[in-house]
A and B are shown apart, each in its own frame.
Chain A
Amino acid sequence: MQDRPNAAELAQAVREFVETEVLPGIDDPRLRFRTLVAVNGLGILEREISLGAPLVRREVGSLARLLGHADPLPEDLEELRRRASELNRELALRIRAGDIPEGTLAHLVATVADKLRIASPRYLERYR
């Protein structure tokens, strides 16, 4: 077990440092833009560390229901991620073959909304 700060706290510390101490000193607009992108990237990392696991679980559960798989969900996070990747491949192949499961659109809207909770929460809040 690592000592604190934990992963999310460490990412936050780096982001705050870049925002408050590095960014104000940058005049070059191109470097400034890329630094803002880096800050955004650290924000994504923080949210993924704190919110990621339950969202992957939710995605795998929804995919399994959609595709009619009854086997229990894995506990291990890495295993869940692998399962999500496999099931997404299966769904993509079915869509490509024209065999689109009932409820696919609703599943995808909910799943992409969950991706945005981590990748771009402001976009999701603003979206109408």
Chain B
Amino acid sequence: MTTDGASTISVELRERLVPIFGADIAIERLALLAGGASKEAWALDLRTPQGKRELLVRRAGGGVIHQETLTLEDEHRLLEVASAAGVRVPQPYGYLGEIVGRPAFVSERVSGETIGRRIVQRPELAGAREVLPAQMAEELAKIHAIPAERVPFLGGIGARDVLGRLTKEVDRLEDAHPPIELGLAWARQRAPEPSETVVLHGDLRVGNLAVTATGLGHVLDWEFGHRGDPAEDVAWPLVRAWRFGVDQLRLGGVGDVEPYLERYNALTGRHITLASLEYWEIVGNLKWAIGALTQSRRHLSGQQRSVELAVLGRLAAEMEFELLHLVERAG
């Protein structure tokens, strides 16, 4: 897996930016913020006649793309639709086609803290933490109101399909995982009947939000967008791994669940129950336990050698432990 240097992509990138920002532009800075096999993120400072623009270029990485993620073209389209629906997203400026052989899009580059551990701990973000739960509920309500026909490329799945997909992923791991099997068996027995299916962000949690002193700035990382049960999205930020050590605050290490759920239900007219969130929280832990094991297999198979992915294989035990306790409590 290789990452291209800025000089490799800057010429083609500039050409693709001309239709969007005009011919009188110059790249002042182009720096890789995050590499990776699946996606790259580049900070781009662009000089335009209207002044300097701070942009972000998302580009496919050199490795194998996750099966369950959107293409960059679809992710960009989803950002456009979400933006039009009033969701706080970085303004998308355009899908760029392939830049030196890999698809890319350009959006606004937003400021704010994105690192989960800092969001739940930093004293200067205490005020933000007070308003984040309600703001997360508000953004979810807006996302779940996006008309599905605007994003026809999103796959739609209910609880049984989610569990079917997770079972397939477990079967692709070469060894057996009894704690995960027990969780899957529990979840299959209690799978809710398919209810309404809405547009989901798929990964809305602390760590995928840009947070400023005044609270939620932007909702980031839309690559897991899909259609499904709204409770799946509402429960995802409850998963213990996304509390970043502040475990007693069940909503992402920043707040209690009840006011967040009340706000969401009030805004949407839905009646999602705490019991439903408990169900999807267990499924969320299953999803991330299996995800961590799958990620480590990317390293082990040589798809993407990375110490980070390797160690994730061992950290799956944390999600298994949580999963078993949640199952025990739920009965």
Contact = CB atoms under 8 A, between A and B. Distances in A.
B308 A98 contact: no
A91 B182 CA distance: 10
B272 interface: no
Contacts, number: 89
A95 B314 contact: no
30 contacts: A30-B34, A33-B308, A34-B307, A37-B308, A44-B314, A85-B176, A88-B175, A88-B177, A91-B176, A91-B178, A92-B176, A92-B177, A93-B176, A95-B178, A95-B181, A96-B185, A98-B185, A100-B185, A105-B327, A108-B179, A108-B324, A109-B325, A111-B179, A112-B179, A115-B320, A116-B318, A119-B317, A120-B314, A120-B315, A120-B317
Chain A contact patch, size range: 35 or more
B328 interface: yes
Interface residues of B, number: 29
B178 A113 contact: no
A123 B314 CA distance: 12
Interface in A32-86: 33-34, 37-38, 40-41, 44, 85
B320 A112 contact: yes
A100 B317 contact: no
A60 to B, nearest CB: 13
B308 to A, nearest CB: 5
Given A109-B325, A113-B321, A119 B182 contact: no
Interface SS of chain B = helix
Interface string B179-213: 10110110000000000000000000000000000
A105 B177 CA distance: 13
A54 B287 CA distance: 31
B182 A105 contact: yes
A123 B325 CA distance: 14
Interface string B230-254: 0000000000000001010000000
A4 interface: no
